[in-house]
Copies of this chain bind each other. A is one copy, B any other.
Amino acid sequence: MSKSTSKPITLKQVAAAAGVSLSTASRALSGKAEAYRISSTTEKSVRDAAKKLQFSPSLLARSLRSQRTKLWGIVLPNIANPFFAAIAREIALTAEENAFSVLITDSQENSETEVHLVEQLLARQIEGLIVCPVGIRNQHLTKIAKQKLPLVLVDRGFDHKDLVTVTSDHRAGARAATKLLLESGHRTIGILQGLPDTLPNTERLVGVREAFALQNIAFDPALIAGNHFDETSGYQAAGKLLSEYPEITALFAFSNQNALGALRAAGELGRKIPDDLSLIAFDDHPFAAYLAAPLTSVNQDVSQLGRVAARLLMGQIKTGALPEERQHRIPVQLMIRASIMKIG
C-alpha cells in the first residue's frame, strides 16, 4: 500500500503543466494575480492546469509558511458524554463555518492527561484552544493565556482575570431548583453532589444554600453526599443518605447521571417517586419526560454553551484581543414535570 500510494499533486506540477514558475502559479491560484500583474491568460492556464490535475494545496506547507494552521484544539473530560458531545458539536460547526478544523481530545477526567493533551495540541500550533478543565491543575492554562494564545474555558472555569469562561448559571439554577423543593414543603433535602471543588459543583452548592437562606430555613451540610457526576456516585450517595436519614423527602441530583443512580437506589429501597420521594436533577435529558416519574430538572442550554465558547474563541482570533467580558453565564431553565410532590 505505502509503495503504490499515489502522491498528491503539488503546486510544482501545476506550474510545470502550465509552463510557469512556482511563484506565478501560487499567485494565480490564490487570487493575487492582479496584485502581482499576472496576465489573465496566464492565470487561466494555471487554473486550468490545477483543475485538470485536481490540485489541492497542502495545508501543511501553507501553515508552515504562513504560521496559521487554521486549527482549533478542544480538550473535554469525556466526549462520549452527551453534554460534552453537544458542546463539541457546536464548536465543530462554528469552526467549519470559519474554515477551521478541530482537533478534539478526551482527557478522561484526568489532569495529567489534560496537561499532556494541551502540550500536544500546542505542538501542532493550534490557533485557539477550548478546554473544559478537569479542575485539579490550572497552571498550564494560565500559562497559555499569558502566551496570548486564544483560550476559552467552558462549563468549568477558574476565577482569573485573564481567563475567558463560559458556564451555565449553576448558582441560579440550583437556587431555583431548591426553591421549588422548599415551596413544595420539603425541608429535609438530600443533595447528590458531583465532583467536589469543581466550579459547577461549588456554585450549585452556593445556590442551594442561598435558596435555604432566602426562606430562612437552616441547611444541614450532612445531607450532602457524592463525589462524582456519574451514575455510581449518585447510586451510592442516594443509598447512603436514604439509609442514614430516612426522613429525607426529596433529593436534588447534581447531574442526570446522579439522578439515574438515585432512581436505582430508591427503587431498591422501595421508595416510589414521587409518592415516597421527590427528585429533581441538574441537566435535562431527552428521556427525562418519559421516565416512570417524568423527571423535573434544570435544563442547561448546552448548544448555547458551545456556540458562545466558539464565538468567543473566534473573536479573540480575529481581533487579537480578549473580550471585554471574561465570565459568560448562560441562563438555565427549570423543566417542571412530575417527580416532585407537594407535602406538609
Chosen A-B contacts, 10 in total, with CB atoms closer than 8 Å, are A1-B316, A1-B320, A58-B64, A60-B125, A80-B85, A80-B89, A82-B82, A92-B106, A264-B290, A292-B292
A20 within 8 Å of B (CB atoms): no
Interface SS majority for chain A: mixed
A147 within 8 Å of B (CB atoms): yes
Residue on B with the closest CB to A104? Answer: B104
Residue on B with the closest CB to A149? Answer: B5
A101 within 8 Å of B (CB atoms): yes
Copies of this chain, whole number: 2
Q: Hey, which chain B residues are within 8 Å of A124, CB to CB?
A: 59-60, 101
Q: Hey, which chain B residues are within 8 Å of A36, CB to CB?
A: none
A170 to chain B, nearest CB (A): 21
A96, B88: Cβ atoms closer than 8 Å: no
Binary flags per residue of A73-103, CB closer than 8 Å to B gives 1, else 0: 0000011111001101100110010000111
A160 within 8 Å of B (CB atoms): no
A75 to chain B, nearest CB (A): 11
The contact of A61 among B3, B64, B85, B231, by CB within 8 Å, is B64
Q: Which residues of A contact B (CB under 8 A)?
A: 1-6, 8, 56-61, 63-64, 69, 78-82, 85-86, 88-89, 92-93, 96, 101-106, 108, 117, 119-125, 147-150, 231, 257, 260, 263-264, 285-288, 290-292, 316, 319-322
Which A-B residue pairs are the 9 nearest by beta carbons? A85-B85, A287-B287, A1-B320, A2-B320, A80-B89, A104-B104, A80-B86, A5-B148, A292-B292
- Cα of A313 to Cα of B101 in the assembled complex, Å: 21
- Cα of A79 to Cα of B88 in the assembled complex, Å: 8
Q: Hey, which chain B residues are within 8 Å of A58, CB to CB?
A: 64, 123, 125
B69, A60: Cβ atoms closer than 8 Å: yes
> Beyond the given A79-B89, A92-B105, could you list 6 further A-B residue pairs with CB under 8 A, ordered by the A residue number?
A1-B148, A1-B316, A1-B322, A101-B124, A231-B286, A260-B286
